[in-house]
Structure 1
Amino acid sequence: MTRTTARPPRARLPFSVWIVAVALPVVVWGAAVALQLAWLPQLPDPVAIHWGPGGADGFASPSSSIALTAGLGVGLTGLFALVLATVRGASPTVTHKLLAVISLVTSVFTGFTVTASLGVQLGLDDARDAPDFGGWAVVGLAAAAVVGVIAWLVLPRAVRPGEEVAEVAPLPLVPGERSAWIATVRIGTAIAVVIVSAVGLVTVSTVAAVIVSGGLIWPLLLFPLLLIAMSATSIVWRVRVDATGLTVRSVPLGWPRRRIRVADIESVKTVQVEPLAEFGGWGWRWTPVGGLGVVARAGEGILVVLRDGRRFTVTVDDAETGAALLAGYVASAPGSGERGPQDGSARHNG
Structure 2
Amino acid sequence: MTDPNHGSLTGFRTRFLLAAAAWAVLVAAVLVAVPLAFAGRLPDPLATHWGSSGRPDGSMPLAAFVVFLVVLWAVLAGIGAGVAARARVLVRRSARAWSCAGLAWAGGLMVITQAFTIAANLDRGHWTRAAGLSWQVAVVVAAPIALGALGWLAGRHGPDVPSGPPQAGPVIDLDPGKRPVWVSTATAPWAAWLALVALAAAVIIAGVALSGLFPGGWGAVVPLALVGVVGAVLSSVSVRVVPEALTVSVGPLRWPSRRVRMERVERAWVEERYPAQVGGWGYRGLPGRATIMIRGGECLVVRYTSGGELAITVDDAETGAALLNALAARRHPSVER
Give the TM-score normalised by the residue count of structure 1. 0.70
Matched residue of 2:307: which SS? Answer: coil
Question: Aligned pair in 2 of structure 1 residues 174, 127: CA closer, same or farther (>3 Å)?
Answer: closer
Q: Which has the bigger relative contact order, CA under 8 A and spacing at least 6?
A: 1
Question: Aligned pair in 2 of structure 1 residues 95, 47: CA closer, same or farther (>3 Å)?
Answer: closer
CA deviations 1:178-204 (Å, max 9, x no partner) are 3322212112x4565667778899999
Q: Percent identity of the aligned residues?
A: 26
8 Å contact from structure 1 (residues 185, 316) kept in 2: yes
CA deviations 1:269-313 (Å, max 9, x no partner) are 2222122222x122233336x723322112111111112222211
8 Å contact from structure 2 (residues 103, 148) kept in 1: no
Aligned to 2:67: 70
1:96 aligns with 2:99: yes
Distance (whole Å) between structure 2 residues aligned to residue 212 and residue 51 of structure 1: 19
8 Å contact from structure 2 (residues 101, 148) kept in 1: no
**1:10-49 equivalences in 2 (<5 Å):** 14-19=16-21, 21-36=23-38, 38-39=39-40, 43-44=42-43, 47-49=46-48
Give the alignment partner of residue 108 of structure 2, picking from 98, 105, 111: 105
More deviation in 15-24 or 48-57? 48-57
Q: Name the larger-Rg structure.
A: 1
Tell me the CA shift for residue 71 of structure 1: 0.6
Off by >3 Å, runs of 4+ in structure 1? 42-61, 126-156, 158-164, 189-209, 211-215, 217-227
More deviation in 189-198 or 86-95? 189-198
Question: Aligned pair in 2 of structure 1 residues 266, 28: CA closer, same or farther (>3 Å)?
Answer: same
Tell me the CA shift for residue 110 of structure 1: 2.0
**1:200-219 equivalences in 2 (<5 Å):** none
Tell me the CA shift for residue 26 of structure 1: 1.3
Question: Aligned pair in 2 of structure 1 residues 203, 298: CA closer, same or farther (>3 Å)?
Answer: farther
Matched residue of 1:317: which SS? Answer: coil
**Greater helix fraction, Structure 1 or Structure 2:** 2
| Count of residues paired in the alignment | 317
Matched residue of 1:254: which SS? Answer: coil
Give the TM-score normalised by the residue count of structure 2. 0.72
**1:149-188 equivalences in 2 (<5 Å):** 157=157, 162-163=162-163, 165-187=166-188
Question: Aligned pair in 2 of structure 1 residues 212, 307: CA closer, same or farther (>3 Å)?
Answer: farther
8 Å contact from structure 1 (residues 116, 136) kept in 2: no
Tell me the CA shift for residue 331 of structure 1: 1.0
Aligned to 1:294: 292
8 Å contact from structure 1 (residues 267, 304) kept in 2: yes
Tell me the CA shift for residue 153 of structure 1: 6.0
Give the alignment partner of residue 304 of structure 1, picking from 294, 302, 305: 302
More deviation in 320-329 or 231-240? 231-240
Aligned to 1:242: 242
**1:224-243 equivalences in 2 (<5 Å):** 224-243=224-243
Aligned to 2:118: 115
> What is the letter of the counterpart of residue 78 of structure 1?
V
Tell me the CA shift for residue 142 of structure 1: 9.8
Question: Aligned pair in 2 of structure 1 residues 74, 207: CA closer, same or farther (>3 Å)?
Answer: farther
Aligned to 1:285: 284
CA deviations 1:84-138 (Å, max 9, x no partner) are 42343114533112112112212321232233334333xx4x5556566889999
**1:54-65 equivalences in 2 (<5 Å):** 58=57, 60=59, 64-65=61-62
Matched residue of 1:269: which SS? Answer: strand
Aligned to 1:324: 322
Matched residue of 1:178: which SS? Answer: coil
Question: Aligned pair in 2 of structure 1 residues 90, 152: CA closer, same or farther (>3 Å)?
Answer: closer
8 Å contact from structure 1 (residues 180, 241) kept in 2: yes
Distance (whole Å) between structure 2 residues aligned to residue 161 and residue 206 of structure 1: 50
Distance (whole Å) between structure 2 residues aligned to residue 316 and residue 32 of structure 1: 45
> What is the letter of the counterpart of residue 332 of structure 1?
R
Gapped runs of 5+ residues in structure 1? 1-7, 339-350
Distance (whole Å) between structure 2 residues aligned to residue 33 and residue 120 of structure 1: 13
8 Å contact from structure 2 (residues 105, 147) kept in 1: no
Distance (whole Å) between structure 2 residues aligned to residue 220 and residue 23 of structure 1: 28
